[in-house]
Amino acid sequence: MSEKVEPPLAVLFVCLGNICRSPMAEGVFRKAALDAGLECRVDSVGTAGYHIGESPDPRAITTARNHGVDISELKGRQLAPSDFEEFTHIFALDTANLAGIRSRVPRGAESQIALLLDSVPGREGQTVADPYYGDEEDFERVWRDISVAVEHVIEQLKAEMPD
């Protein structure tokens, strides 16, 4: 019996509650990686435990569906110490959650941790706005910001892969 081999890349997206931005980022990335032929594991979490076990916000699900991506089966979970061992790349959607991630890094962890929009030239240090208290247009704007960033991340990850 052979042991299942995990892909060499594992990407984690992190926001506060794991019901809006990070599940949308997971969906965008999953589709973009598949389209690019990039084999990797992808997941999303929140730094807070507000929505553990819950589905994404209905507006996030609708926005993703409007772009041909189904995130309806995702369930909220909170960032865990094991995530720093299991994921090669961890992307925060905003600076507050980036600080929260960095404050939890266990000694010896080797994950690359970054702000998602740092991958976009000219957007370094910017955050993906939280659409939770907004409307459908806010969710659409977040989708666009994430999509642009994911395109750059995919190119960077492909460049890191050995031939």
- Alpha carbon distances (Å) from 91 to 44, 65, 68, 76, 139: 9, 23, 23, 16, 19
The active-site residue, picked from 21, 30, 59, 77, is 21
Q: Is residue 20 annotated as part of the catalytic site, yes or no?
A: no
Contacts of 70 (CB under 8 A, 6+ apart): 27, 64
Q: Is residue 21 annotated as part of the catalytic site, yes or no?
A: yes
Residue 68 — left, alpha, or beta (φ > 0 → left; ψ -120 to 50 → alpha)? left
The active-site residue, picked from 43, 57, 130, 145, is 130
> How much of the chain is helix, strand and coil, in % rounded to 5?
40, 15, 45
Q: Is residue 94 annotated as part of the catalytic site, yes or no?
A: no
Active-site residue set: 15, 21, 130
